Amino acid sequence: MKELELKYGCNPNQKPARVFMKEGELPFTVLNGKPGYINLLDAFNSWQLVRELKEATGLPAAASFKHVSPAGAAVSVPLSDVEKQIYFVEGVELTPMSTAYIRARGSDRMSSYGDFAALSDECDEATAAYLAREVSDGVVAPSYAPEALEILKKKKKGNYLVMQMDVNYKPEEMETKEVFGITFEQLRNNFPINRELFLQNIPTKNKNMTDDAIRDLIVAMITLKYTQSNSVCYVKGGQAIGIGAGQQSRVHCTRLAGNKADNWFLRQNPKVLNLPFVEGIRRPDRDNAIDVYISDDCDDVLRDGEWQRVFTEKPEEFTRDERKAWLAQMSGVALGSDAFFPFGDNIERAHRSGVEYVAEAGGSVRDDNVIETADRYNMCMAFIGMRLFHH
């Protein structure tokens, strides 16, 4: 098939809309549902991300995409008991592929609501079963187990979008797009992100770049390669825990992503793990309630009595001092940036979220200040010598 008609473009008034190949066949097959314009943008960007993560780490990889940027991305690292609890998968069958997607979606469950999922490996029955219970618009994978496909075809009253990518497809080296009737052309960003990249230039005093840190920085930088710029990414345990995308100021990216990383860690506090939810509460309501409980709005919500809708009893207050003390225990986090840090304030904010490893392009006139700030906190920082803007 050379062409596929779409429901509409970015918005319902933008039709007709289609995708087509100038030469050859479309490199994907729609197995169920009907794709929209944004669905396909998410599918193609997320597929590239997980394919590169698998190639770079050798581990099954997954991504959760929203509006052409990842809400989460991860490789398959076994879940701890606490992680199983915060991702609500206790007692759920776990496979390498399902574990990767559970991690990717768990990065930022609020942002992943209604996501487009991407899987580097075959979608097995366990992954399909997990997708079936979450609010998601579609999935792309290289193949599907027969049992998995049957599960997914029943989702969203039979309208769930299921796409299969041709793993042998290689796009042209030059890529084009039109803006305002004007055609842009550039060489595809084929810059390889691999282990050696983080060992060739470490300007900090601490040069102990561990294997886990390298894995996490690979996850961070490949995630950023497909995130709308400016962007930064915090990673721990093989998964993104905070992504800041599309901000005009880099320090705002660092703050936004750092706040998400903090929320991820706060969810692991015993007070949060033991919240008395009412039986049968919907997962989105539970996620929203947790986000409010760990925020500065917690006191107002508890005082106003809104807790009665989601909790069987009034939960104990989670004070600002308690949250601060819990976050002080956060450590071993890796941080990637899609370009250089222009000031040390980014490193200062990263330190507050337990960052110990950093990767950035380098090349700022204030590199000395950034290195000095990293040294103050005994961070290990790599300069990769390449900017990874994505627009």
**8, 15 contact by CB (below 8 A):** yes
Q: Are residues 193 and 309 in the same domain?
A: no
pTM above 0.85, yes or no: yes
- Residue 230 placed within a domain: yes
Q: Which member of 230, 263, 269, 346 is catalytic?
A: 230
220 inside domain: yes
Cβ atoms of residues 214 and 238 within 8 Å: no
Q: Using alpha carbons, select from 246, 359, 250, 287 the residue that is nearest to residue 107.
A: 287
Instruction: Specify the 3-state DSSP secondary structure of 194.
Output: coil
What is the per-residue pLDDT for 104? 97
168 assigned to active site: no
Question: In Å, how far are 228, 355, 357 from 391, measured between CA atoms?
Answer: 6, 27, 26
Question: Is residue 388 in a domain?
Answer: no
Alpha-carbon span 58 to 102, nearest angstrom = 18
Q: Give the separation between CA 371 and CA 11, rounded to whole angstroms.
A: 45
pLDDT of residue 304: 65
Up-side HSE of residue 139: CA atoms within 13 Å toward CB? 35
What type of residue sits at position 354? G
On whether residue 389 sits in a domain, the answer given is no
Q: Which of 86, 134, 141 is CA-nearest to residue 114?
A: 134
Q: Is 390 a catalytic residue?
A: no
Domain interval for residue 53 = 3-165
**Last residue in a domain, options 165, 198, 228:** 165
Is-catalytic flag, 236?
Answer: no
Alpha-carbon distance of 101 to 95, in angstroms, equals 10
Same structural domain, 225 and 287: no
Is residue 20 a part of any domain in this protein? yes
Q: Are 254 and 244 in contact (CB under 8 A)?
A: yes
Helix or strand or coil: residue 3? strand
**CA terminus-to-terminus distance, the chain:** 28
Q: How many whole angstroms separate alpha carbon 387 and alpha carbon 68?
A: 19
User: Of 165, 196, 224, which residue constitutes the final position of a domain?
Assistant: 165
Q: CB–CB of 44/63 below 8 Å?
A: no
Based on the fold, state whether residues 31 and 144 are members of the same structural domain.
yes
Check if 66 is active-site.
yes
DSSP 277: B
In a domain, 311, yes or no: yes
Residue of 67, 252, 271, 390 marked active site: 67
191 lies in the same domain as 338: yes
Residues 298 and 343 in one domain: no
Residue 277 and residue 262 share a domain: no
Distance CA(293)–CA(288), nearest Å, equals: 9
Q: Do residues 25 and 1 lie in contact, with contact meaning Cβ atoms separated by under 8 Å?
A: yes
With CA atoms as reference, report the closest residue to 139 among 162, 120, 158: 162
Residue pair 203/371 in contact (Cβ under 8 Å)? The answer is yes
Buried b (16+ CB within 10 A) or exposed e, 198-236: beeebebeeeebeeebbbbbbbbbbbbbbbbbbbbbbbb
In angstroms, rounded to a whole number, what is the distance separating the alpha carbons of residues 91 and 163? 29
* Residue of 66, 84, 225, 236 marked catalytic: 66
- Residue 297: per-residue pLDDT: 75
Q: What single letter denotes the amino acid at residue 113?
A: Y
Identify the pLDDT of residue 381. Answer: 98
User: pLDDT at position 301, please?
Assistant: 65
Domain end among 137, 165, 193? 165
CATH number at residue 212: 3.40.140.20
Indicate if 250 and 308 belong to the same structural domain: no
Please report whether residue 391 resides in a domain: no
- Give the list of residues 6+ apart from residue 234 with CB closer than 8 angstroms, or none: 220, 240, 241, 242, 243, 257, 258, 260, 261, 333, 334, 335, 350, 353, 355
- SS3 string, 111-175, reads CCCCEEEEECCCECHHHHHHHHHCCEEEEEECCECHHHHHHHHCHHHHCCEEEEECCCCCCCCEE
Q: Is residue 390 part of a domain?
A: no
Amino acid 284: pLDDT: 86
Residue pLDDT tens, the chain, 391 long = 899 999 899 999 999 999 999 889 999 999 999 999 999 999 999 999 999 999 999 999 999 999 999 999 999 999 999 999 999 999 888 999 999 999 999 999 989 999 999 999 999 999 999 999 999 999 999 999 999 999 999 999 999 999 999 999 999 999 999 999 999 999 999 999 999 999 999 999 999 999 999 999 999 999 999 999 999 999 999 999 999 999 999 999 999 999 999 999 999 999 999 999 999 888 888 998 999 999 887 776 666 666 788 899 988 889 999 999 999 999 999 999 999 999 899 999 999 999 999 999 999 999 999 999 999 999 999 999 999 999 9
- Is 208 found in the same domain as 118? no
Does one domain contain both 276 and 262? no
Total domains in the chain come to: 3
Amino acid letter at 263? N
Domain match, 111 and 179 both: no
Task: Give all strands (DSSP E) within 202-276, no chain letters.
Answer: 231-236, 239-245
Q: Looking at the structure, do residues 19 and 105 belong to the same domain, yes or no?
A: yes
Q: Answer yes or no: do 138 and 7 share one domain.
A: yes
